[in-house]
Structure 1
Amino acid sequence: MGKLNRLWAKMYDDYLANTELWVDLSFSALKIIAIVIGTWLFIKIGKSMLNRIFHFRLRSPLRLEERREATLIRLIENVFTYAVYFIAFIMVLSELGVDVRTLIAGAGVVGLAVGFGAQNLVRDIISGFFIIFEKQFSVGDYVKISSFEGFVEEIGVRITKIKSWTGELHIIPNGSIAEVTNFSVHNSVAVVDISIAYEENIPEAEEAVVKLLDELYEKHEEMVAKPEYLGVQTLGASEVVMRITAEVTPMAHWKIGRLIRKAVKLRLDELGIEIPFPRLVMYQRDENGNKEISKASE
């Protein structure tokens, strides 16, 4: 029992009653808190300055494309944040008494070893830089990558985030992006097929469609050029298919395609031109054995 008491007494003298120790711990805790707060403020101020720099470039003749600027801002912010966090982490370890120089030297050796095994990570990072500087796609573009299609939400150092029109967020490693279809770079083309019945007057329907396309071109600003009627595209089982094309602004081909279909349907209804419907053809013979054809609709 006496030995235990002496042990407690020694611990009390060495730690609990050691004023210098508690003062040092208090200063270390204050320094760590200051490092955390300073890191948060530095990141916030750095991001604000970065946004101001790019905002100033909006008036410059050397301005980059808007979507590319947004992409570069996201990327630089990520790199800046990671670098500041790493420096703050080293400073905290230093305050805790860890030999930072030995740690950094050891981290260099370990990093070299890990680098050989983390080839996919390196490939993702390098691919991310090439995606941005080669203008393959930018934040806000509508793209198709492999089986994923949607708007680009973010291009990071390692991954790209794509949000589909139904709300799903797809996260794709940059190194796995082999083929990209970008729908937002050039003007789109709306392709609309209109079907009418074989019994209808094709020249009359064509004349009505051409006149209607002239009217639609004057109403919709998304149409870059006047829609073009190409003619009869195919002869189907029960319909004649006519094709219409319209060059529109990027990503407006779906909207304009729906508008053209609706407008053509209403105009054909006004003229009494019917769209096709399934028909049943029946063959039978009369009393003399001659073949007769009767038609019935389903």
Structure 2
Amino acid sequence: MILKEFGTWVATSGVRVVIIIILALVGIKSVSIISSRLGGLLTKQRVDEEDKKRADTLSSVVRHLLNVVVFLVAFMMLLDQFGVEIGPILAAAGIVGLAVGFGAQNLVKDVINGFFILLEDQIRIGDWIDIAGKSGLVERVNLKMTILRDMAGNVHYIPNGNIEVVTNMTKEFSHYVFEIGVAYREDTDEVVEVMKQVDEEIRNDDAFKSDIIAPLEILGVDKFADSAVIIKARTKTKPIKQWRIGREYNRRLKKAFDAKGIEIPFPHRTVYFGVGKDGTAEPLRLKNEESGNGNSD
């Protein structure tokens, strides 16, 4: 009798269970394919890098939400096939959900904050941001949390409810700010000309010119430090390319300064012995105690 009832269930509800599971798997796979193709379509229509990052971010969030919906629908249908009444479960779930809601305010805060972050396009996958005291590249963002990977490779999971201020360093374009210190004896006009020459070299270099949006902007003599005159400048680059351009500029500028004899100050101490009335001073002679030879320095 039991075997007969089981066989009847397999022939009816059992078949439906298999069909539901197959349809759920197909649905999840279809969601993944559609979201990927939708992201690709948006990328083709809008070749701008900023739109591509936004499309990737939104497609990732939509994919996860639809997967949850497919799973819940399939789960409810399976319960029905096993003879479990769904109505009382839904009613109980509503009561439990209300009770849990009072104790899950942080989760609700995360979701609401995440919704507005995505709606206002504050963060996209591939951005370099600073949030909640952590900096890094956005690897994933959803309604609940934002995941960053910093320069050292550490992964930070930050609940969206903890995000109060978002500093996005790669939104539409980036700037690399230079603070170049030179000795007080140097001609600042000459230094500025050398800086412009180095900038022109980089902008004409095939390896770097595609990442640079505008020529170097010389902001001028910014301040007089203890041992240096600080000249401030900045260069405008494509998002997240500012550090690459900045490092190359610093490397070339150091070589150019060396070639021109322009001094870059470093911590040192100058000993002053005074001068004669004619403005000259006797050279300081250092004696090597081992050899007894005098050397002028």
TM category, shorter: 0.7 to 0.9
Identity %: 32
User: Is the Cα contact below 8 Å between 1:284 and 1:293 reproduced in 2?
Assistant: no
User: Is the Cα contact below 8 Å between 2:28 and 2:70 reproduced in 1?
Assistant: yes
- 1:6 is aligned to none
- 1:181 is aligned to 167
1:227 to 210, 216, 235: 216
Cα shift at 1:68: 1.9
Matched, 1:259 2:244: no
Q: Which runs of 5+ in 2 are unaligned?
A: 276-280, 287-297
How far apart in 1 are the matches of 2:75 and 2:57?
Answer: 27
Cα shift at 1:145: 0.7
How far apart in 2 are the matches of 1:271 and 1:20?
Answer: 97
Cα shift at 1:111: 1.7
- 1:51 is aligned to 36
User: Is the Cα contact below 8 Å between 2:38 and 2:59 reproduced in 1?
Assistant: no
Q: CA RMSD in A?
A: 3.0
2:100 to 114, 121, 144: 114
Structure 1, residues 240-296: CA drift from partner, whole Å, max 9, x if none? 33333212222222122211211111111112233224433335589xxxxx89889
User: Is the Cα contact below 8 Å between 1:190 and 1:254 reproduced in 2?
Assistant: yes
How far apart in 1 are the matches of 2:22 and 2:99?
Answer: 34
Matched, 1:247 2:224: no
User: Is the Cα contact below 8 Å between 1:238 and 1:279 reproduced in 2?
Assistant: no
Structure 1, residues 10-49: CA drift from partner, whole Å, max 9, x if none? xxxxxxx633233146445554444333311121123323
How far apart in 1 are the matches of 2:51 and 2:215?
Answer: 28
TM-score by length of 1: 0.79
Tell me the secondary structure at the aligned position of residue 36 of structure 1: helix
For 1:67-216, list aligned pairs within 5 A: 67-216=53-202
**Which deviates more, 72-81 or 46-55?**
46-55
Structure 1 residues 60, 94: CA separation in 2 closer, same or farther (over 3 Å shift)?
same
User: Is the Cα contact below 8 Å between 1:187 and 1:249 reproduced in 2?
Assistant: yes
**Which deviates more, 51-60 or 147-156?**
51-60
Structure 1 residues 153, 293: CA separation in 2 closer, same or farther (over 3 Å shift)?
farther
Cα shift at 1:109: 2.0
How far apart in 2 are the matches of 1:139 and 1:212?
Answer: 33
1:273 to 251, 262, 282: 262
Cα shift at 1:202: 4.4
User: Is the Cα contact below 8 Å between 2:42 and 2:55 reproduced in 1?
Assistant: no
User: Is the Cα contact below 8 Å between 1:151 and 1:163 reproduced in 2?
Assistant: yes
Cα shift at 1:147: 1.0
How far apart in 2 are the matches of 1:56 and 1:263?
Answer: 41
Structure 1 residues 185, 293: CA separation in 2 closer, same or farther (over 3 Å shift)?
farther
1:42 to 27, 46, 55: 27
User: Is the Cα contact below 8 Å between 2:16 and 2:81 reproduced in 1?
Assistant: yes
Amino acid across the alignment from 1:39: A
Q: Which runs of 5+ in 1 are unaligned?
A: 1-16, 287-291
**Which deviates more, 275-284 or 113-122?**
275-284
How far apart in 2 are the matches of 1:123 and 1:258?
Answer: 40
- 2:5 is aligned to 21
User: Is the Cα contact below 8 Å between 1:79 and 1:157 reproduced in 2?
Assistant: no
Amino acid across the alignment from 2:32: K
Structure 1 residues 149, 88: CA separation in 2 closer, same or farther (over 3 Å shift)?
same
- 1:7 is aligned to none
User: Is the Cα contact below 8 Å between 2:140 and 2:148 reproduced in 1?
Assistant: yes
TM-score by length of 2: 0.79
- 1:11 is aligned to none
Query: Max radius of gyration: which structure?
Result: 1
Structure 1, residues 223-253: CA drift from partner, whole Å, max 9, x if none? 2221133333333333333333212222222
Structure 1, residues 172-224: CA drift from partner, whole Å, max 9, x if none? 11222111011221322212222333344544434333333333333323222
**Which deviates more, 212-221 or 80-89?**
212-221
Amino acid across the alignment from 1:198: Y
Cα shift at 1:80: 0.9
How far apart in 1 are the matches of 2:226 and 2:117?
Answer: 47
Tell me the secondary structure at the aligned position of residue 227 of structure 1: strand
